[in-house]
Amino acid sequence: MASTVINDPDSIHAYRQQIADKIEQLKGLLQKTERAVETVSESWKDNNFQQFRANFEVDKEQIKPLCEVLSNYESNLLYQLEQKLRTYTGGPTHL
């Protein structure tokens, strides 16, 4: 998708929305998985679970910064590009 939006502010806006939607989906899945792990932890207490939980915590700590980077990319860089293109093309600057 990114290669097709270079000079089209409407496409950039749609791309920004797709990124924002994926970030929210990822955060929702992370919360759902955290709840599931907590539920499982009530009955599964062996070493395999402890290893799984430790691995999940590592993954979780990598997902959070990824969401922040994507959010910053969407709301800052792409937003600024969209606004500049709208100004340049004479289109509406706020959608």
**Would you list the DSSP string of 22-56?**
HHHHHHHHHHHHHHHHHHHHTT--SHHHHHHHHHH
Give the position of tokens 């539920």.
Answer: 39
pLDDT band at 83 (very low <50, low <70, confident <90, very high): very high
Q: Residue 89: which pLDDT band, with cuts at 50, 70 and 90?
A: confident
Per-residue pLDDT band at 20 (split at 50, 70, 90): very high
Q: What is the pTM of this model?
A: 0.78
Residue 45 one-letter amino acid: K
Question: What pLDDT, in 10s, does the model give residues 25-42?
Answer: 999 999 999 999 999 988
What is the overall mean pLDDT for the chain?
Answer: 89
Please give the Cα distance from 31 to 74 (Å, whole number). 22
For tokens 């990114």, the residue is 2
Mapped onto helix, strand or coil, the DSSP state of residue 91 is coil
Write down the number of H helices and E strands in the chain: 3, 0
